[in-house]
Structure 1
Amino acid sequence: MNTITCIIPAYNEGPRIAAVARVAAAHPLLSEVIVVDDGSHDDTAEIAAGVAGVRLLRQPRNGGKTAALARGLAEATGAHVLLLDADLTGLTEAHIGALIAPVSQGRSAISISLRGNAPGLWRRIGLDYISGERVLPRSLLLPHLTHLPTLPAFGFEVFLNGLLIDAGLPIAVVPWPDVASPMKHSKYGLWRGLRADAGMITDMLRTHGPLTLLRQIATMRRLRID
């Protein structure tokens, strides 16, 4: 792992993007930090651009998380990528180092976070299969860069799960008990938050059917290293 690019897709995350971007930009193991502003209507792009060490990419319109990640992956230079959601709270350099460690030490090919406020079921089974925080070889996604933007807006994680399962790659799950991602209703209000959650679930099911998603969870647990 000679080079690691951090990619942070962001849409209307003005109140939160600075904290996440600053932690990433300060980490010595990251060779570059890219924030992809997904057509935000607030000051997300301006705030990200003001963080030293951050490279800002701006999407011309809001195309969804998958398209934003595809843009970042296409322009990244690292052999590996660290993917971070833009709304994390409690994130520190130590958390990033812990997520990188299993891959840099050769114990796994991919690492996935398990945040402190992940759904209770995910914490009980020890796997958040749709976590947005991952470290992985960029080469795993490079053959699919033209296909990614055609996926549903929130289909990225379950599509990636299919790739790592097909490759039989070992997975390290890294607990992040002090890190949280705000619930959508706390960011958008109750009804808009419920609609956003429903839209995310719909996108996942449009990418892979419910039985496939259940098989993903079971297979990823088998691929998980201790």
Structure 2
Amino acid sequence: MVDGRPVAPGRGLDGPRHRGDGGPAGGRPAGLAAPRATEHGVTRLTCLIPAWNEAARLPGVLRAALGHPLIDRLLVIDDGSTDGTPEVARRFGAEVLNMPANGGKTAALAAGIGALEGTHALLLDADLSGLTPHDITRLATPVLDGRAEVTLSLRGNAPRLWRALGVDYISGERVLPVALLKALAPDLPGLPRFGFEVFLNQAMRSQGLRVEIVAWPGVASPWKTEKQGMWSGFRGDAAMIRDILRCQSPRALLEQILWLRRQTARQNRTCSATAAVVSPTTSPSQMPTPSNPARNPSP
């Protein structure tokens, strides 16, 4: 239910919306072609923000996302908050999907995916600080330009190892096809509370999707010890690690990280090749674009 009302298929609170292409539960889902443009020539995103007791931090995320020209619809999934999070979201003008009780991030996202429409989704955590509209644009652009099928953020306060590798494999900020999420939806109810990201990574890897990592040096997410206190935060971190390992084996997690690292290397090679083609003497008409890829000059 959204804002206490049932959601009819293909409709939101504001009337009919574009519907995404579904896909089979196994194999590569249908609908992973290039993003579909709107009548104005720009693909619009549906933004999902799962939130649990984030009344203090959610406004910063909403200020960056609401009204963004690439976002067609924003849905906050309230996961049984007791601090007024849904009321904060409504005051900002966001749609709210109320969970009957706290079920964890995976359950909240599963409910949000059930309400998804359109072709592409933007996933955001509710506790980000420093997020700007420009950060959202940078995260969406590689997918909307067709350079990648999925993007992941790398926040400025990600663990030092992830920053050294150039990959945060459990990043909660992503742009990806709705068809991919819909294809995974039947399996989500069986996942642990914090298993969503690594389960999604496994599907991305098995389907050979092109991934780009987008650095967000000015964006941070608080550690659980900051939000919940030392001992409660440590217990929360331990529960998250336990759930991740219930969802994927240590070997599978290492393979995910190495695969994403290779994706980063491919991304860097592509950037270097583009920079080499666009020399100081290159005229604007010769610059590579998605519709006019770089070509070697004639002898």
Q: What TM-score do you get using the length of structure 2 for normalisation? A: 0.74
Runs of 4+ that moved beyond 3 A: none
- Give the conservation status (yes or no) of the 8 Å contact 2:156–2:215: yes
2:195 corresponding residue in structure 1: 155
**Which residue does 2:45 correspond to in 1?**
4
Supply the distance in 1 between the matched residues of 2:217 and 2:242 (Cα, whole angstroms): 28
Q: 1:85 aligns with which of 102, 118, 125?
A: 125
Q: What corresponds to 2:89 in structure 1?
A: 48
Q: Percent identity?
A: 52
Q: Report the equivalent of 1:221.
A: 261
TM-superposition CA deviations, 1:123-173 (whole Å, max 9, x none): 001000100000000111212212212200000000000010001111110
Q: What CA distance in whole angstroms lies between the structure 2 residues aligned with 1:160 and 1:95?
A: 22
What does 1:116-131 align with in structure 2 at a 5 Å threshold? 116-131=156-171
- The answer as to whether partners of 1:169 and 1:223 remain within 8 angstroms in 2 is no
Give the secondary-structure state (helix, strand or coil) at the position aligned to 1:180.
coil
Q: Which has the larger radius of gyration?
A: 2
Task: Please name the residue that 1:100 is paired with.
Answer: 140
Counterpart residue number, 1:189: 229
1:146 to 186, 192, 213: 186
User: Is 72-81 or 125-134 further displaced after alignment?
Assistant: 72-81
Residue 164 of structure 1: aligned partner? 204
Aligned-partner Cα distance in 2 for 1:26–1:141: 24
Hey, what's the Cα distance between the residues in 1 that align with 2:63 and 2:47?
Answer: 12
CA RMSD of aligned residues (A): 0.9
TM-score, length of structure 1 as denominator length: 0.97
Which of 64, 71, 74 lines up with 1:30 in the alignment?
Answer: 71
Shift of 1:185: 0.4
Paired letter, 2:72: S
Per-residue displacement from partner, 1:13-56 (whole Å, max 9, x unpaired)? 1111112122111211011000000011111011011112x111
d(CA) in 2 for partners of 1:21, 1:35: 9
Deviates more, 1:20-29 or 1:91-100: 20-29
2:105 pairs, out of 39, 42, 65, with: 65
Q: Contact 1:26 / 1:93 at 8 angstroms: preserved in 2?
A: no
Higher helix fraction: Structure 1 or Structure 2?
A: 1
Q: How many residues align?
A: 225
Distance between the aligned counterparts of 1:43 and 1:49, measured in 2? 10
- Runs (5+) with no aligned partner, structure 2: 1-34, 36-42, 269-299
